[in-house]
Each structure stands twice: as C-alpha cells, then as structure tokens.
Structure 1
Amino acid sequence: MTRYAAFLRGVNIGGVNMKMADVTAALTDAGFTDVTTILASGDVLLDSGATATKVRAKAEAALRDTFGYDAWVLVYDLRTVSAVAEAYPFDPEVDGYQSWMTFISDPTVLDELAALADDAGPDEKIARGEGVLYWQVPKNSTLDSTIGKTMGKKRDKSSTTTRNLRTLAKVVK
C-alpha cells in the first residue's frame, strides 16, 4: 500500500462546493482505504495498492459519479509531495507575501507556465521545479499576478492545481 495525496482541483473556491465527509465517503466507497481530508481545501490523503495514474482515474470517476461535476484530481505519493514542499526555493515566510506551488501533470503546460518567469513583475518570484511551479506574490494580488492570471484557462484545468505552502505543510506532516 502506498500513501497518496490527492489534490482536487477547484473545490470549495467559487464553484464546486462539497462537504469533506462526503468526499471521504465517496473515495472510501471507491475502494481506497484510510481516507482523510485536510481542511475543506480538497486535499485528501488515502492509501491504495494501485499506481498514482490509476488512483487518479478512479478518484475522478468516483467524484464525478457522486457529485456530478467535472472532477480533476492530481495524485502524488506522499514522499514526492514532501520533497516538492522541501524544495521550495524562496524564503517561505516573507511578511506580506504568499507562497504557492502549482502541481502540473502535463510537461507542455509546465514549460509554458515556467516561461512566464520572464514576464513576472518586480514583486513576483517564479521558479520551475520537478513537475511543479513555485511562486511567491504579495498577499491579495494572487489572481492579478503573472501566474494567477493563467490558472483559469480551461485547457489547463485537468493538469494543474495550486496549493499554498502552509496548507501543503499540513498535508505532509
């Protein structure tokens, strides 16, 4: 059995609203074990003997069937998530700033988003990681930032999801 983090995209932030107890039940009914949710952020820990690719497909199907929405889930084993969080390249606690990571499963999308570092404003920091884009912006300017403006593209929804570094710390502890 492998312990996975499943990141549900677009849950409880201006669109698809669901109770985490219902998410837990749906994923448990789908055959996953030791299912635990973190806050109401769409972050789920679960155990499975399947590969991350199979866990993703099964979780997306379970959420679509249960909640009737176009579910997108990115799945990583917990060691990978921990390594990604530990590799955050900027000072994680800068007063007045927020620290983010965008997990990206499509290498082409990662290339495109990483290229935006050249267009970043003076208060933005953007760095490419292994399957992830790290970024840091002033508080209250996330959606107006170079990266924030791109996150709503429909074509990227199935392959990207963004998490705050503080929330991610709760996932890996």
Structure 2
Amino acid sequence: MKYCAFLRGVNVKGTNMKMADVCQVFKDAGMKEVSSVLASGNIVFSSDENAEKLKTILEKAMSEQFAYEAFLFVKSQEETVRFWSSIPFEKREDAHIYAFVGVPGIQNTLMEEFQKASQTENEKAAIVDTIFYWQVPKGNTLESSFGKVLGKKSLKDQFTSRNVNTFEKVLKKMN
C-alpha cells in the first residue's frame, strides 16, 4: 500500500535534515519506493504494514537517527486524496489554505482554538469530515492569533499542517 508520512517540525527551528537522509532512514526501516516531496518532510513510500505500526516504527527510527523527538503522521493514498479533494474554500491569490493532519479528534481542538482566537479579515476555518482547514491571508500565517496558538508545545505531537498545494504534489508523486 502507498503512504505518505507527514513529519512535524522538519527544517524549522533548528531541526534541519536533508530529505535524502530522511529517505535513507525510511529505507533502512524497511519501507519501499521511498521518495520525498518538498523539503518540509513529506515522504512517499510503500509498505505492507498498517499506518499505526508504521508511525511507531518510523518515529523511533527518525528519533534515533536525528537525535530529536520525531512526530509524524502516516496517511494512505486514499486518505491523502481526501485532503486534496475536500478543500472547502475557493483558492485565492491573496490567501493560503492549510489542511491539518493529526491525531483523531484534533480537528475539534483546532476549531475550538480558532473560535477563541481573533481573526483577520478573510481568515476562515472549516471541518470537512475529520479534516480541519484554515484559510489565512498571505503574510498573516505566523502573525495571526490562531497561527500563534499552533506553536503551543502542548500541541506539538497532535498535528502538522500543510499548504493544500502540497497535497497535490504528494498525490502526483504517489501516482
């Protein structure tokens, strides 16, 4: 089965790694057809194992190889298609749209945090099925009230986010 591992916190805040090295860790852990998509920690691969077991294997391998506490979320090709095909907002030149990959139920926590935060004009959030989407005007991602919430240490092992365009690139690599 084809999967994508979405790594949290890669190539930000001092956790720097080459994607070729990350791919090698995946290969050494028994994954097949391994390749990376962008430098933000999106690894496409094949395995006969289930996603839950893969998460455990790969987090341990990454933590050992790179001496950091690795967090990643493994999604099947079918699940990855849903992230791309369920986008609830119309694409705009002046906004980014992010989708959040995480533990079960994280979409509800994120929506609660979004509703508590002050929003800028044209900033929106929606849940489609179990996927949380956030639209934010370009240039406001890190400065927005909600953007600051996303950096909370208490949430670091709960989710990671990607610009929705990344899902399109991941799916092209999976095909």
Give the TM-score taking structure 2 as reference length: 0.91
Could you say which residue in structure 1 is the equivalent of 2:97? 99
Structure 1 window deviating more from structure 2 (42-51 vs 131-140): it is 131-140
Alpha-carbon distance, 1:145 to partner: 2.3
Provide Cα deviations, 1:129-169, integer angstroms capped at 9, x if missing partner: 23321011111100122431211111211120010111221
In the alignment, the residues of structure 2 paired with residue 72 and residue 131 of structure 1 have an alpha-carbon distance, to the nearest angstrom, of 20
Q: Secondary structure at the match of 2:146?
A: coil
1:85 positional shift: 1.2
**The residue matched to 1:71 in structure 2 has which SS?**
coil
Unaligned runs of 5+ in 1: none
CA distance in 2, matches of 1:116, 1:91: 23
Aligned equivalents of 2:86 and 2:34: distance in 1?
26
Q: CA RMSD in A?
A: 1.4
Q: Does 1:35 align with 2:34?
A: yes
- What does residue 115 of structure 1 align with? 112
Identity of aligned residues (%): 36
Amino acid at match of 1:105: V
- Partner SS for 1:128: strand
User: Which residue is 2:136 aligned to?
Assistant: 137
In the other structure, the counterpart of 1:90 is 89
Distance across 1 between alignment mates of 2:14 and 2:123: 27
SS in 2 for 1:149: helix
Are 1:48 and 2:47 an aligned pair?
yes
TM normalised by structure 1 equals 0.92
SS at match of 1:11: coil
**Alpha-carbon distance, 1:104 to partner:** 2.3
Which residue matches 1:164? Answer: 163
The alpha carbon displacement at 1:33 in A equals 0.6
